[in-house]
Amino acid sequence: MPQPTPGKAPLFTVTADTLVAVDFGPRRRTRPPGPYRRLFTLPGARAFTAGNLIARLPMGIFGISAVVMIAGARGSYALAGAVTATGLAATAVTAPWIARLVDRYGQARVAVPAAACAVLGSLALLLCVHYGAPDWTLFAAYAATATTPNTGGMSRARWAHLLHGDAKALHTANSFEQAADELCYMLGPVLAAFLCGTFFPEAGTLVGAVLLPTGVLLFAAQRSTEPPPRRRSPAKAPLRAPGMPTQLAVCLAMGAVFGALEVVTVAFADAQGHRSAAGVALGLQAAGSCLAGLVYGAVRPTGRADRRLPWCVAAMTALLTLPLLAAALTGSLPVLSAALLVAGTATAPTMVTNMTLVQQRAPEGRLNEGMTLAVTGLLGGIACGSATGGWVVERLSPTAGYGVPVTAAAVALLISLAQQTRDA
């Protein structure tokens, strides 16, 4: 038998008739895949996510593009704001109805024609502005864009279908979707401003009108991951489900936070003589939320979602005092931007937890409708927050305006605490 070399471990050790140990040297340890990598190993997940991101990007493009296009051609920001506000109001009415049809007949059968109608509305608005049509035609054309399908809600519904029973993976999926929302709302306005400013005022609307149907068609083509439709769901309406009114009220208050932050930040930057820098400041807030959402999705949440929500909202309320303090104590736009970046880190965890509760409390077979109602609540809150923030800015000051999002977040905290007390 071979003798081992002195000072070296034997390559193998053999007894008379049995192999005792074999050492082939150091082994490479394979690191287990992370939560996001495991998420996208599901068949069809990457395909429907790619299509959904393309379809979701125009959500941040259309509004800014419409304002630039109308204000540039008609010389009236008041008219542009009124037209876009009409579109938001029409969306609040139409979106739940579209979502109900999605639950009943399937995503592909409803989303594609709904997106086609919205694109026609955008193109009609472009033509009316370009050829000097009467003002009322702008309102009618932009109202048609309210049929834009809630692709973010449909994507979350697909994850809920694919990950049924896996709460940890669904938490990661919801965190990714929230980060995607923040990314699209961060990049959309920047892309719209670039297109309209670099080429021609209608360029942003045209690009959005191409991206929306392209993304929806790619998304709808992934039929293997689509939740099965429920033609006749016996479930009650989402508004009547236990706990749902509370979640929608939280969405309304959260929307007021976002609407007020946008208006007040623009006003603050304008007072500093750097109105164009407002986009950078708001982009940093969205970036902080996006990064926090990805980190939040990678960690394992502890406790029930309804117990976590008040803590998340409390953290958001506390961090929103930072922009108020930065504006009041320094008056510096760079310091304010840094404060918005930090404050944004509480947004995604709060929204993820809230949307998780919406998913849990929405009646079976009416998930798209429930999540779309949550989005509608956010839109209504954005409108209220924008109006309130603008009123405070005009009558007091932009610095005082930062008290509006803090107040709105505190209202959301009180609502969530009241619901937790009722559930206890």
pLDDT digits (tens, 9 = 90+) for 88-128: 788 888 888 898 888 888 899 999 999 999 999 999 999 99
Q: According to the model, what pLDDT value does residue 275 have?
A: 65
Q: Provide CB contacts within 8 A for 347, sequence distance 6+.
A: 182, 285, 288, 289, 292, 316
pLDDT of residue 285: 86
Q: Give the model confidence (pLDDT) of 170-191 as tens digits.
A: 888 888 888 888 788 777 877 8
Could you give the CA distance from residue 342 to residue 285 in angstroms, rounded to a whole number?
7
The whole-number pLDDT of residue 322 equals: 95
Boundary residue ending a domain (232, 249, 272): 232
Q: How far out from the chain centre does Cα 236 lie?
A: 27
Phi, psi at 132, each rounded to 5°: 70, 35
Give the Cβ contact number of residue 311 at 10 Å: 15
Same domain, 205 and 81: yes
Mean pLDDT per 10-residue segment, the chain (424 residues): 50 45 51 78 90 89 82 79 80 85 89 94 94 92 90 88 84 85 78 81 91 94 88 65 84 88 82 74 84 84 82 94 92 91 91 85 77 82 81 86 93 90 72
The structure's pTM equals 0.74
Domain closes at, from 197, 232, 267: 232
Please tell me whether residues 205 and 244 are part of one structural domain.
no
Residue 35 belongs to a domain: no
Check which CATH number belongs to the domain holding 183 and give it: 1.20.1250.20
Positive or negative: CA dihedral 81, 64, 115, 251: negative
- The answer on 258 and 134 residing in a single domain is no
pLDDT at 22: 46
Q: Based on the fold, state whether residues 169 and 226 are members of the same structural domain.
A: yes
**Within-domain flag for 154:** yes
Residue 30 lies in a domain: no
pLDDT in the model for residue 27? 53
Q: Do the domain assignments include residue 3?
A: no
What backbone torsions phi and psi does residue 90 show, to the nearest 5 degrees?
A: -65, -35
Domain boundary among 206, 232, 258: 232
Cα 60 to Cα 182: distance, rounded to the nearest angstrom: 10
Q: Which two tokens stand for residue 189?
A: 């306005």
Tell whether 203 and 290 lie within a shared domain. no
What pLDDT shows up at residue 219? 94
Is 323 found in the same domain as 390?
Answer: yes
β-partners of residue 373 are none
How many structural domains does the chain have? 2
Residue 173 sits in the same domain as residue 286? no
pLDDT for res 11: 45
Query: If 0-12 CB within 10 Å is exposed, 13-18 middle and 19+ buried, where does residue 383 land?
Result: middle
Give, for 104, the enclosing helix (H) or strand (E): helix 77-105
DSSP assignment of 147-205, as one string? G---HHHHHHHHHHHHTTT-HHHHHHHHHHHHHHHHHHHHHHHHHHHHHHHHT-TTHHH
Q: Are residues 194 and 64 part of one domain?
A: yes
Q: Which domain holds residue 179?
A: 44-232
